[in-house]
Amino acid sequence: MAVLYNDTEKIFSLNTKNTTYQIKVDSYGYLLHLYYGKTVNTSMEYMLTYSDRSFSGNPYAAGNDRTYSLDVLPQEFPVQGTGDYRSVALIIREENGCCDFSLHYKGHSITDGKYSLKGLPAAYSEEKAQTLEIVLKDSRTGIEVTLLYGVIEDCDIITRSVKVKNSGSENIYIEKIASACLDFLYGNYDAITFYGRHAMERNINRTPVTHGIQSIGSKRGTSSHQYNPFVILAAEDATESAGECYGAAFVYSGNFLAGFERDQFDQIRFLMGLSDEMFSYRLGIGEEFYAPEVLLSYTDMGLNRLSQNFHYCIREHICRGQYKDQLRPVLINSWEACYFDFNGETLCQLAGQAAELGIELLVLDDGWFGERNDDNSSLGDWYANEKKLGMDLKSLSEKIHKKGLLFGIWIEPEMVSENSRLYRSHPEWALQIPGKKPVRGRNQLILDFSNPEVVQYMFDSISSVLCQCEINYVKWDMNRSISDVYSINAVYQGNVLYDYMLGVYSLLDRLTGAFPDILWEGCSGGGGRFDAGMMYYTPQIWCSDNTDAVDRIYIQYGTSFCYPLSVTGSHVSAVPNHQTGRVTDIDIRGCVAMTGAFGYELDLMALTQDEKTKIKQQIQNYHKLAPLLKKGHYYRLSNPFKDGLGVWEVIDSSKETVLLSIILLNVHGNMPVVYIKLQGLDSTKYYKNTENGKVYPGSGLMQYGFPVLAKPGSYPSFQILFERVL
C-alpha cells in the first residue's frame, strides 16, 4: 500500500517507489512532520527532541511541560496563533480582526486513486496511486482544514493541497495559504531557483539557505517571466549525478510565493503556495476554498534524477488529451515571417513553400481578426478580418489544407483593446479601478475573468471561430502583467485574482473539452506562464519569445530542471536573430530547437537553396528522433553558465538509443579536446556512432568520456546518435 496508518503510534507513512514521507498525530492532537526522504520501514519519531527553549511558547494543553513548543517542533501544517513564530502556512482573519486559531486532528481517510481539485488543475492517476485526507479543526471558530496528499508511486511524486471550510457562524478571510510545508530538523542546503525576464527566462540561481527568510514569487497575475514556480532544496554537495535534493512545483498559473527560512535553532522550513499580496479571500458560512496543488519529489541520486521524476510526472500525470502521447507536427509560425503584414494569398504562398520542405502545420499568428494591423486594436473581437485576408477563414483553411498542411491560429482571450467593438460595448468587463486611469500594457487591458459572464462570452466567441472551419492548432497567448485589480462584479475584491485564474482554467477546460482534436499551445509572451498548471490544459508551451539559438541554450537549460522536452515549444528562426541580432548557422539553430516541440519561425520565401536543403534534412532527422525526444530520459551534461558549452543527452528507457547534443559556446585558437561523460548507459554494452560507425564501450563513455574536436566557425554544434550493439 502507498499509504499506511499505524493506529497505535498514530503515524502515517506515504510510500512511493523510492521514498517515504511520515506524519504523526501527537498526544495533543497536533500534526507533526517526522520525515521525508529515502525509503524507511520504521518510525522516525525518535528524531524528535524536547527541551525548555527560552521565549518559545507552550500550548495551554501542555500544562506545566515547558519542553513542548510548536516554535521548535517540525510541523506538517503550521498556522497563525499556536506560538510558532516562524513563517506559517495559513493565516485566517475573523470579522473582528482576530487571526489566531489552532488546528487539531479530527479524522482521516485513505482511498485508492488520486484526488482531484474543484476548478483547479491537478495531477491525476488511477493506477498505483492513493489519496490521504487528514481533517483538522479549530473548535473555537469552526474552521475546518483538510490536508490532501496524493501518492504517485511510479515517479516518486507526493502531491499536496489544502481545502478550507468555513463551518463557523460568520465570514472568515484567508489572508495567507500555502499548499505545502516541509520542516527540516537540521542540514546545510542550497536553494535553487529560476529567475529571469521577458526573452531571457529561467536562469539558475543557487544560494545557501541562511538565517532569515529567502523567497521568490510573483504578484503579476501570472507565474511570470521573472520567477518560475519551481524550486529545489539541494544538499550543499549535491551534483547532477549524486546527492540529496527536494523539488517542488506549483500547479498554478497565477501569483505564488515560495520561501525558505532557517530559524534560531538551524532548522529549515520551506513553504509554497499562493502569494499573500493582493489576496484576502472571503469565505462565507459553509463555503470551501481549495488551494492549488504542489508536486513534491525527493531523490538522493542528484539533480538529473530529480528532473526525470518531474519530467515523467508532467508527461504522464499532468498533460492530457490526445496530444499527450501523440507526436506533434512540425510547424511554421507566421509571426517572424511577416508579423502583421500578410493577406490570404501570401499565407498560401508560405504554406506552399512549407509543404515543399516537409513542414506539416501553418500557424497564423497575431493580426487575423477584427481590424488588427498592429497591436493597438481589436483584442476581444474574435472574428476574421476578411478585408485584410481577402477571404473568409473557412476559405483560407481549405486552401492551406489543400497544400497538405494542417492549419492553426493565435488567440489572446484574456485581453481587450480599448479600440475594439467589445470594449465599446462592455467597458465594465475590463479590470479597472473606478475613478482611476488604468495602467496599460502593450496598449491593452485585461478582461475580468473572475466574472462568469465574461468567460461565457469568450467561450461562445472563440467556439464560433473554431466551428467555422477546420482548425488543428490554437496558440493561447497572454501578453501583459495584471494591474488595476478591481472587478465591479466581485462581492469582495480580495477574491478577484484567484477567481480570475479559476475563470481562465474554466475557459481552457471547456474549450479543450469541446475541441479535443485541436493541439493547444500555451504562451505568455513566451515563457511568462510556463508552469504545470497551464500544462494540464496545453500539452506544449512556447518556451520563450527569444528564438536566438545561443540564448535558448541557457533558457532551455533552466527549463529542463522541471519541465520535459515534450512541453517545450522551440523553433528555428531567421538570422540575424530578431531579438539579439546574433548570426548562427542553421545547424546550431536546428540542434537547439530539436530539444523541444520542433518548428520554424522565419520567412521561408527568403531562404537560400542550401538552407532549404538543410531544413528538409532537419525535418527528416526530427521525425526519426521525435519518439526518443518525447519519452527519453534527459541528462544535463554541462552547465552553460559555467562551462562554456551546452551539452545534453537523451536516452530511451531500454538504454538502446542515445542522442548527444553539443554546442561549443567559447571557441579559441588551437582548442584543446573536450571530453564529454555520458550518463545512464548500459556499462556492459558497446555503443556505435551511427554517423561514422565507430564503436565505444558504454563504461568508457560514462567513466572517461567522448572526445570532441572543435571545428571552425562560431558556436560549432554536434548532434551524435549512438545505438547499442552487443
Report the catalytic residues.
531, 611
Cα–Cα distance between 355 and 332 in angstroms, integer?
10
Cα–Cα distance between 502 and 507 in angstroms, integer?
9
Nine-digit cell at 375? 497591436
Quick one: DSSP state of residue 211?
B
- Tell me the β-bridge partners of 269: 183, 261
Contacts of 63 (CB under 8 A, 6+ apart): none
H or E, element range at 177? strand 172-184
Cα–Cα distance between 279 and 17 in angstroms, integer?
37
Cα–Cα distance between 115 and 159 in angstroms, integer?
10
Cell 520565401 sits at which residue?
Answer: 605
Amino acid in the structure at residue 267: Q
Identify whether the C-beta of residue 554 lies closer than 8 Å to the C-beta of residue 641.
Answer: yes
- Is the peptide bond prior to 576 cis by the omega test (within 30 degrees of 0)? yes
Cα–Cα distance between 238 and 709 in angstroms, integer?
30
Contacts of 634 (CB under 8 A, 6+ apart): 304, 307, 308, 311, 560, 564, 565, 648, 649, 650
Cα–Cα distance between 479 and 138 in angstroms, integer?
43
Nine-digit cell at 428? 465594465
If one counts every other C-beta atom within 10 angstroms of the C-beta of residue 21, the result is 24
Query: What are the start-end ranges of the E strands in 198-353?
Result: 200-208, 212-218, 230-235, 245-251, 256-262, 268-273, 281-283, 288-290, 293-299, 331-333
Cα–Cα distance between 359 and 356 in angstroms, integer?
8
Nearest one of 625, 653, 524, 509 to 226, comparing CA atoms: 524
Nearest one of 344, 322, 474, 471 to 413, comparing CA atoms: 474
- Tell me the β-bridge partners of 295: 159, 249
Cell 487575423 sits at which residue?
Answer: 368
Q: At what angle are helices 586-593 and 609-631 packed, to 10 degrees?
A: 20
Query: What are the start-end ranges of the E strands in 418-551?
Result: 445-446, 473-476, 519-522, 540-542
Nine-digit cell at 211? 538565517
Cα–Cα distance between 481 and 264 in angstroms, integer?
38
If one counts every other C-beta atom within 10 angstroms of the C-beta of residue 8, the result is 5
Amino acid in the structure at residue 252: Y
Cα–Cα distance between 566 and 582 in angstroms, integer?
27
If one counts every other C-beta atom within 10 angstroms of the C-beta of residue 436, the result is 9
Cα–Cα distance between 38 and 428 in angstroms, integer?
54
CA angle 312/313/319 to nearest 5° reads 100
Instruction: List Cβ<8 Å contacts ≥24 apart for 10-13.
Output: 11/43, 11/45, 12/108, 12/132, 12/134
Nine-digit cell at 148? 490532501
